Amino acid sequence: MAPVVTSVSPAQGAPAGGTSVTIAGTGFSGATAVRFGPNLATNVVIVSSTQITARTPAGSGTVQVTVTGPTGTSTQNVFFLYATVAAPVLTALSPSSGPTGGGNTVTLTGTNLAGATQVLFGATPATILTNTPTQITATAPAGTGTTNVTVTTPGGTSNALPYTYTT
């Protein structure tokens, strides 16, 4: 039986390609190709028989996402939209300080935050708990002093807001 694709997340990205996506479905064991329209994806990793991670190739418009395996190619209507995505903008952090050991939940507010792939406290990644177009909650990593917090989405990297570690 051919692979079955049920979803791609995020479902849109930049026309230049390079968007990191997760493809869900079944029958992915032994998959030999992932395509976005006619173009092959890069950095394809078969995580399991139900999940693949990949980076999108360059493209335009709305294209079908397909997975090819030893038993055929998926035929489901799962689509990816190539669109210019606005860069994220941070407007507030709450709280804007926390313990040096990290572990506290910080709410980041702004615009164009959907599809966040990374929240950085300085050079240290935070754990993203929830993500909407206007708000992200993340667990602050350990750190010292005052550091810049940024968000990376398919649209780019946000402006920085300061976060202060207190003892």
- pLDDT value of position 100: 96
Share of the chain above pLDDT 90, in %: 84
Judge whether residue 123 has pLDDT over 80. Answer: yes
- Span 84-88, mean pLDDT? 83
Q: Which of 21, 7, 29 is nearest to 53 (CA)?
A: 21
Calculate Rg over the CA atoms of the chain. 18
Residue 101 structure tokens: 């050991």
- pLDDT value of position 66: 97
Residue 136 structure tokens: 């992200």
Q: Which of 114, 115, 116, 109 is nearest to 93 (CA)?
A: 109
Is the whole model's pTM more than 0.85, yes or no?
no
Per residue in 112-122, pLDDT (tens digit) is 998 898 999 99
Domains plus CATH for the chain?
A: 4-82 (2.60.40.10), 89-166 (2.60.40.10)
Judge whether residue 31 has pLDDT over 80. Answer: yes
- Span 122-147, mean pLDDT? 96
**Residue 51: CB atoms within 10 Å:** 14
- Span 82-88, mean pLDDT? 84
How is the beta sheet containing 51-55 ordered, strand by strand? 4-9, 20-26, 51-55, 42-48
- Span 84-89, mean pLDDT? 85
Per residue in 4-22, pLDDT (tens digit) is 999 998 888 888 898 889 9
pLDDT bracket for residue 62 (50, 70, 90): very high
Residue 45 to residue 77: CA distance in whole angstroms: 22
Residue 60 structure tokens: 């335009």
Judge whether residue 85 has pLDDT over 80. Answer: no
